[in-house]
Chains A and B, each alone.
Chain A
Amino acid sequence: MSRILSKIHLSKDVFQMKLQAPNIARERKAGQFVILQADSDYTERIPLTIADADAEEGSITIIFQVVGKTTLNLALMNEGDVIENVLGPLGQPTHIENFGTVVCVGGGIGVAPLHPIAQAMKDAGNRVITIVGARTKELLILEDEMRAIADEFIVCTDDGSYGRKDLVTKPLQEICESEKPDVAVVIGPPVMMKFCAETTRPYGIKTYASLNTIMVDGTGMCGGCRVTVGNETKFVCVDGPEFDAHLVDFDTMMLRLTSFKTIEQKSNHECHLEKAIEKL
């Protein structure tokens, strides 16, 4: 059982919660995630990244976007409420060392998992360049936190409402040209990660992507999270979530993410979601 210690409405449909989870807070490392389930019967288990943790307080911070019924129900919970099941930390921690210059690229909600990685990279002595992107200004999250870590900080919005009016791949390409970073870490929507990988590929820059796939148990048991990496089937929960972005078959991954789309749409019209979020 995990008590919700605080809840912040970060942007339109993005929420931040601090959860009481001393065991997870103690063990978690950058790059790892949790699986949570609102209560034991009938609810779904969903994987969410750990955006931050405080081992002393015994708390972890999760940031999530409302995309379906389960995340909506979570968004409807409040400070003091109890989430029945939280399992973690899951997945392999990010490989952190002093590489030299690391460029961290985050898109949309992907900035949340990127935050602890950028922090750990900085702590390891790297020069950290951060590029964050969002569709529009209101959807940008953790700007101050990311700015505080980065040696160089670039914001892009699709509509130009804030920062550069560009896709994140544009500044990424410029940095590949000028700074020749040693490592890139990209987290965001799969299509963004795919194009970031294509951007760094010609420069031979080692690029890691953190994948968020359909997952039921998070311990390797269900095989639902499988992705093709370098022509091999890998399980995101035990082999990942981070993989060499140049080897990931993003097209298959994007298809697999649509596995239950029709069913979910049926049970959960988007218009309902929008209305519910407005009420929050």
Chain B
Amino acid sequence: MTYIPAEKLEQEAKELLDKLDFDKMKPRERMQIPMQEMPSQEPAVRAKNIEEVALGYYEEQVKIEAERCLQCKNAPCIKGCPVGINIPGFLKAAAEGDYQKSVDIIKESSMLPAICGRVCPQETQCMELCTVGKGLKDKDKSVAIGRVERFVADWERETGKMSLPEIAPATGKKVGIVGSGPAGLTAAADIRKAGHEVVLFEAFHKLGGVMVYGIPEFRLPKAILDKEVENLLSMGVKIEKNFLVGRTRKLSDLLEKDGYDALFIGTGAGLPNFMNIEGENLVGVFSANEFLTRANLMKAYTPDKADTPIYTGKKTAVIGGGNVAMDAARMALRVGAEEVYVIYRRTEKEMPARREEVVHAQEEGIHFNFLTNPKRVISDGKGHVAGIECLRYELGEPDDSGRRRPVAIEGSEFVLEMDSVIMALGNSSNPLISQTAKEISVNKWGNITVDEDGKTSMDRVYAGGDIVLGAATVILAMGEGRRAAESINKLLASE
């Protein structure tokens, strides 16, 4: 992947579309159609603004990309989707230019298509199993399912014809959803559809959970998130903002005193991990959560308007190799850092971040130090960060994750001068619910344990998403919310 100007991509797609006759194509010929690259803002320009980086497909590109789908009878892609979207179905409708039908097919399974089309790790889900990618021996050349999904979702939103699912007659039952991230929103929609009253509790003042505080504007514009959430709420879901379940009200009180028939906990994994190294609490060391919350939720990227301060210094190190590390690094570049270094202890190949995000970061000028990990944070003598002392690493035998284990090379210490450090090492489960509801069982990592129906050890209480899985992805959390919603609907229907 290298940057190609958007106009050039459009031109190429137009020329290609004129040449191709899809009706007469055999699968083998279809597989020769080149994958359509995503148009994006020019790297040097976007590194200085907060606007969305990926611009979305041109209509010609949608047509071509959707026609790349072989419409396999066994549809392996669906098995790779945590919410089981009928992928060949929506691609076929998109190829025919019936975008409404296409988005309606997606919405049978996912209420958040504009979000998923942007932030799903498609290459490790649907695209990983795609026959086209398998045939070309490159999953990055599979049908770009998410990009087409994004297009039809954007089309629907922009044409203002957002459709609502049908809602069953009122049942008189009431369900509380704790947390308005992807798991909670999905569960809310599915439970509401069954005719139950649904109340969504959110500790923050904005809905969306990690999608609003964690994922930056340049990757998921808040206006799009808000619109998708608003659409869901128009199904009649009630909201209680500034409400921290566990503190503002205990789970048991909601059930016993406030008349809730069931609860779903989708609070996410909101407790940032640190490395427990010397100097970690120096001034200038931040968790990615804090950094991104200041930037995204509190809009610190508009310094003339926002009251919430943010600090990057001139040289910023981001520790970690996941999507959050990429988000933090690219945000740091946009809010003031002159040089940003991603420090990751394995190699580029093992990075958990999406390939597309890594490439975008590289194009924007982020530096990468692979096989490197900090040993301590160095103070300037006044309590501020002056640098990090690092060790070089090499890859040893594969570990439990199947990736080769990084091993520190003894005596390889070296110093990188930095004036801020952002730790993006993932999150542990937030202890708040388990602190205040002893009936809820958690495992040794503090994740809530659930049975195959998503039910916790507490009667009528279900859980899903990162609080169960540990830190995962938006779509996996949605899958969890969906599963628990089905169980709750079944429970309430049986009474």
Binding site for B on A (CB under 8 A): 23-24, 27, 32, 37, 40-45, 69-70, 73, 84-90, 92, 216-224, 226-228, 233, 235, 238, 249, 252, 255-256, 258-260, 263-264, 267
Contacts and interface: CB of A to CB of B under 8 A. Distances in A.
B432 A233 contact: no
17 contacts: A27-B249, A40-B206, A42-B299, A43-B307, A45-B308, A89-B247, A90-B247, A220-B430, A221-B271, A221-B293, A222-B287, A223-B274, A233-B280, A235-B271, A238-B430, A259-B284, A260-B311
A243 to B, nearest CB: 14
B171 interface: no
B309 interface: yes
Most chain B CB within a 10 A radius of its CB, from A89, A216, A260 = A216
B244 A87 contact: yes
Interface string B255-291: 0000000000000001110101000111110110110
Interface of B is mostly: loop
Nearest to B431: A238
B281 A226 contact: yes
A219 B432 contact: yes
B272 A221 contact: yes
B282 A255 contact: yes
Contact of A24 (B203, B205, B248, B286): B248
Contacts of A222: 272, 287, 289-290, 293
Q: Among B206, B309, B311, B430, which residue has the most Cβ atoms of chain A within 10 A? A: B309
Contacts of A32: 247
Contacts of A220: 270-271, 430-432
B306 A42 contact: yes
Contacts of B302: 42
B248 A23 contact: yes
B352 interface: no
Interface string B304-324: 011111110000000000000
B242 A87 contact: yes
A10 B299 CA distance: 33
Contacts of B203: 87, 217-219
Going nearest first, the 3 A-B pairs with the smallest beta carbon separation are A221-B270, A255-B383, A223-B287
B243 interface: yes
Given A216-B293, A223-B290, A263 B311 contact: yes
A85 B244 contact: no
Contacts of B205: 37, 40, 84-85
Contacts of B284: 259
A23 B311 contact: no
B211 to A, nearest CB: 14
B274 A233 contact: yes
Given A216-B290, A223-B289, A238-B435, 20 more contacts: A23-B243, A24-B248, A40-B206, A42-B299, A43-B307, A85-B205, A85-B242, A87-B203, A88-B247, A89-B248, A217-B213, A217-B293, A219-B430, A222-B289, A222-B293, A224-B287, A233-B276, A252-B282, A255-B383, A258-B383
A185 B283 CA distance: 28
Contact of B247 (A27, A216, A221, A249): A27
A224 B309 CA distance: 13
A259 B280 CA distance: 14
B248 A252 contact: no
B405 interface: no
Contacts of A45: 298, 308
A256 B280 CA distance: 11
A259 B289 contact: no
Residue from B242, B293, B298 whose CB has the most chain A CB atoms within 10 Å: B242
Interface of B: 203-206, 213, 241-244, 247-249, 270-272, 274, 276, 280-284, 286-287, 289-290, 293-294, 298-299, 302, 305-311, 383, 430-432, 435
Contacts of A256: 281, 283
Interface-centre pick from B249, B274, B281, B284 (highest chain A CB count, 10 A): B281
Contacts of A42: 298-299, 302, 305-308
Nearest to B280: A233
B33 to A, nearest CB: 44
A24 B248 CA distance: 6
A227 to B, nearest CB: 8
A40 B306 CA distance: 11
A44 B308 contact: yes
A58 to B, nearest CB: 13
A88 B282 contact: no
Contact of A224 (B242, B271, B286, B299): B286
A219 B271 CA distance: 9
Contacts of A69: 307
Contact of A44 (B249, B271, B287, B298): B298
Contacts of A249: 281
Most interface-central of A42, A90, A228 (chain B CB within 10 A): A42
A278 to B, nearest CB: 22
A272 to B, nearest CB: 14
Nearest to A1: B242
B280 A260 contact: no
A228 B281 contact: yes
A233 B276 CA distance: 8
A87 B431 CA distance: 18
A70 to B, nearest CB: 6
A204 to B, nearest CB: 27
A85 B308 CA distance: 15
A126 to B, nearest CB: 26
B230 to A, nearest CB: 15
Nearest to A233: B274
B383 A252 contact: yes
Nearest to B205: A85
A37 B206 CA distance: 12
A198 to B, nearest CB: 20
A258 B283 CA distance: 8
A44 B307 contact: yes
Contacts of A84: 205
Contacts of A27: 247-249
Nearest to B241: A85
A45 B290 CA distance: 12
Contacts of B206: 40
B119 to A, nearest CB: 19
Contacts of B306: 42
Contacts of A258: 283, 383
A84 to B, nearest CB: 7
A238 B203 CA distance: 14
A43 B287 CA distance: 21
B164 to A, nearest CB: 26
A208 to B, nearest CB: 18
Contacts of A88: 244, 247-248
A43 B272 CA distance: 24
